[in-house]
């Protein structure tokens, strides 16, 4: 499929009161949107979940890139001042393509780089990453973290990635606190070799899929306090705030006054009752999802 690159020069100039565009393969990215809403109450968001094409985690990198570019161009054409790729699978495979398609001037923030930066700053040595097949197959976390450690002159760091494709569907089903989650998580941790009996062989666990933060309590129950469960959404929200500040694009504080959910727009490419119900769990409150986006026929 050929993706038409839109011309950056045909876009209206960016204003600090413009919305932030944020997208995911579905509604998992709402965990990031929620953290952004908490951290930046004055910002408005245009969220797009590509529910018609999910899961991205089982797609080829080429197809994830094609979808991601098309969505980013849609968000840019809607006047978004920044693009947040709130999907690990798309961050791992499509960041450069998204940047190239929207052109310079629109900051693009993905969900991998801020977490790598955080772990590198902490000097985390034994890191486990769980994610979809697309994310783990790309090796993005291991490669980036090893590079960051090497750049800081640190040696001996161990980063291992493990695909955990059963988790997103279970969470999507609303089973993040269901008793079945514990043996599934434990089974994956044991298969990865990060848990042996009472031993914990990692210091930090990256939840490398935007669905997983919903199951953070189940991970904590299995791993105990000795392993840090990395809080991706809030780390990413801070990175978005920093990028906006750098570019002089932070929303005026007055925009926070009297602002409710209606200040944001939440779109999905396929709207079903299930997505409406799950979206409420992912965002922590009811989300006014509407059908829309680049594939939507008016
Ligand atoms: N939200 C996606 C991610 O972070 C996972 C769901 C999917 O496979 O589409 O990778």
Determine which residue's CA is closest to atom 7 belonging to ligand 1: 55
Domain presence at residue 5: no
Same domain flag for 80 and 187 = no
Q: Give tens-digit pLDDT for 92-118.
A: 999 999 999 999 989 999 999 999 999
Whole-number pLDDT of residue 13: 61
Collapse the DSSP code of 266 into the 3-class scheme (helix H, G, I; strand E, B; otherwise coil) and give the result.
Answer: strand
- Evaluate whether 98 touches 72 at the Cβ level (below 8 Å): yes
Ligand 1 close to Cβ of residue 87 (< 6 A): yes
d(CA 86, CA 32): 6
134 Cα nearest atom in ligand 1 = 10
- Same domain for 117 and 226? yes
The whole-number pLDDT of residue 21 equals 98
Q: Whose CA is nearest to atom 5 of ligand 1?
A: 209
Examine the fold and report which residue of 197, 212, 232 is the final residue of a domain before the chain moves on.
Answer: 232
pLDDT in tens, the chain (298 residues): 333 344 444 445 679 999 999 999 999 999 999 999 999 999 999 999 999 999 999 899 999 999 999 999 999 999 999 999 999 999 999 999 999 999 998 999 999 999 999 999 999 889 999 999 999 999 999 999 999 999 888 887 899 999 999 999 999 888 998 999 999 999 999 999 999 888 889 999 999 999 999 999 999 999 999 999 999 999 999 999 999 999 999 999 998 887 788 899 999 999 999 889 889 989 988 999 999 999 986 5
pLDDT value of residue 199? 87
Candidate of 87, 165, 208 to mutate for ligand 1, largest count of ligand atoms within 8 Å of Cβ: 87
CB of 26 closer than 6 angstroms to any ligand 1 atom = yes
Tell me the CATH number at 59. 3.40.50.1860
Index of the ligand 1 atom closest to the CA of residue 58: 8
CA 197, chain centre distance (Å): 32
Decide: 233 in ligand 1 pocket, CB within 6 A. no
Same domain, 118 and 212: yes
In a shared domain, residues 223 and 279: no
Q: Judge whether 274 lies within some domain.
A: yes
Identify whether residues 198 and 257 lie together within a single domain: no
In a domain, 297, yes or no: no
Asked whether residue 9 is domain-assigned, the answer is no
Domain span at residue 192 reads 113-232
**Tokens 């450690």, residue?**
149
Distance between CA 114 and CA 118 in Å, rounded?
A: 6
User: Given this model, what pLDDT does residue 296 score?
Assistant: 81
Q: Is there a single domain that holds both residue 130 and residue 141?
A: yes
The predicted structure's pLDDT at residue 66: 98
Q: Are residues 33 and 58 in the same domain?
A: yes
User: Terminal CA-to-CA distance of the chain, rounded, Å?
Assistant: 22
Final residue of a domain: which of 215, 232, 249? 232
d(CA 247, CA 243): 6
Shared domain for 140 and 161, answered yes or no, is yes
**pLDDT on residue 298:** 55
Is residue 229 classed as helix, strand or coil in its secondary structure? strand
Q: Is the CB of 89 under 6 A from ligand 1?
A: yes
> In angstroms, rounded to a whole number, what is the distance separating the alpha carbons of residues 111 and 298?
32
- Does one domain contain both 100 and 242? yes
Distance 68 CA to ligand 1 centre (A): 12
Instruction: List the residue whose alpha carbon is closest to atom 9 of ligand 1.
Output: 55
pLDDT value for 2: 34
106 & 117 share domain: no
Question: How much is the pLDDT for 7?
Answer: 46
In terms of domains, do 119 and 100 share one? Answer: no
- Identify whether residues 131 and 100 lie together within a single domain: no
Total structural domains in the chain? Answer: 2
Q: Is 77 inside a domain boundary?
A: yes
Catalytic residues: 87, 209
Cα 153 to ligand 1 centroid, rounded to whole Å = 33
Asked, for residue 82, whether it belongs to a domain, the answer is yes
Q: Is 64 within a domain?
A: yes
Is the beta carbon of 68 within 6 A of some atom in ligand 1? no
Look at residue 212 and tell me if it is in a domain. Answer: yes
Which residue has the CA at smallest separation from atom 2 of ligand 1?
87
What per-residue confidence (pLDDT) applies to 260? Answer: 81
């Amino acid at each position: 499929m050929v993706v038409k690159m839109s011309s950056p020069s045909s876009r209206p100039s960016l204003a600090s009161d413009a919305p932030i565009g944020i997208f995911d393969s579905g509604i998992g990215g709402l965990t990031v949107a929620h953290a952004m809403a908490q951290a930046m109450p004055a910002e408005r968001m245009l969220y797009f979940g590509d529910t018609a094409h999910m899961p991205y985690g089982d797609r080829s990198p080429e197809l994830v890139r094609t979808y991601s570019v098309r969505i980013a161009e849609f968000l840019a054409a809607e006047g978004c001042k920044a693009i947040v790729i709130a999907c690990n699978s798309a961050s791992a495979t499509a960041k450069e393509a998204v940047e190239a398609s929207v052109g310079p001037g629109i900051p693009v923030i993905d969900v991998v780089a801020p977490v790598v930066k955080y772990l590198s700053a902490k000097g985390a040595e034994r890191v486990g990453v769980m994610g979809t097949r697309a994310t783990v197959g790309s090796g993005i976390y291991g490669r980036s973290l090893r590079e960051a450690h090497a750049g800081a002159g640190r040696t001996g760091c161990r980063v291992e990635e493990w695909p955990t494709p059963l988790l997103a569907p279970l969470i999507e089903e609303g089973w993040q606190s269901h008793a079945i989650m514990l043996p599934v998580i434990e089974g994956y941790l044991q298969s990865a070799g990060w848990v042996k009996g009472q031993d914990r062989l990692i210091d930090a666990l990256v939840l490398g899929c935007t669905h997983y933060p919903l199951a953070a309590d189940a991970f904590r129950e299995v791993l105990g306090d000795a392993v840090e469960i990395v809080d991706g959404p809030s780390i990413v929200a801070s990175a978005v705030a920093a990028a906006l500040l750098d570019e002089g694009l932070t929303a005026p504080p007055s925009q926070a006054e009297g602002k409710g959910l209606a200040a944001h727009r939440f779109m999905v490419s396929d709207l079903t009752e299930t997505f409406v119900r799950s979206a409420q769990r992912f965002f922590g409150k009811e989300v006014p999802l509407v059908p829309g986006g680049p594939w939507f026929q008016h």
